[in-house]
Structure 1
Amino acid sequence: MAEQNSPPSGETLLFLTDEQLRKGIEAMFFAYRGFTADPDRILSELAYGRAHHRAVHFIHRSPGTTVNNLLSILGVTKQSLNRVLRSLVDDGLVESRVGTQDKRERHLHLTEAGRALETKLSQAQRTRMRAAYRAAGPDAVQGFRQVLEAMMDADMRRHYLKLKDAGHE
């Protein structure tokens, strides 16, 4: 007979109740608040928001990425991204370079100050994730990643796999 506190088997996870799913959704909401809390404090000192954080993160992950690629990854309007990029460029955190093959393209790179901000933001999140992963254990870490990957739509999964395949795991 299984212990009452033992984790559910894989088979029972296939038949989750609406209440179990609701609890999972709520856990994601609260975890996201925790995951973004530390960077939000850092960003607020600079009068930046999460859009700035996402832009800095993905420019760091793909130096030289184009504005159009960043638009595709972030899923925001061109107007919204332009506002974010304008402030990052004006504040000396991002450089926008004209493409060598296509002069209409703008390639984005973090400056030294941009890399320092990215490091500060990502370190705060790595610290939180590292502690959570250690507490949960290796099987839970792998399962969590599988759940997250399964929740991605096809286009986002392509972007994710492209970063993963580029050796940025």
Structure 2
Amino acid sequence: MTLIHYFDIVLPVIQDTIHENNPKCTSYSPVFLAMFKADMTETMNNCIVITDIKVDIMKKVIEFMYTGVLESTLDFNDLLSVLEVADKYEIMILKELCEERLTQRITISNVLMIFERASLYGVPQLMETLISFMVEKKLEIIASEDFANLYRRKPELLFEFFIRSIAVK
């Protein structure tokens, strides 16, 4: 390991800059570790440029890497965004925590949104819980405008639901 792993790194996120300590980021994320081990711009500049994540979301992720705690009052949309970041940077413990919290927040009004996003992030426990919930509440869900919208946007996702729901007893 080179000395660069002990320096602060700077994470420019959109228009803000977050200064972080590299060992925390690299210990939680194999993606960050790979960036700093490889002969990449990040290694030379000790800087990771992140332009696709909101500053407040990245701050929550970094706070988690330092404290091991994810704010319990995080709103539903922020929780989905944190899950996305955890998946992108392979922060598995954070991803599992988001999966657990989202499982506790499933309602008729948000189940399809969670289902759509969860299908992108490889969260099997959450997907199974969503499928079971959707099977149990299928009449209400199918009658919703959200269902019709999801069908128009991503019919393959509802096909996946159909196939997986057959297995649910």
TM-score range, shorter chain: under 0.3
How does the TM-score come out when normalised to structure 2? 0.26
Q: Which has the higher contact order (CA 8 A, sep 6+)?
A: 1
How does the TM-score come out when normalised to structure 1? 0.26
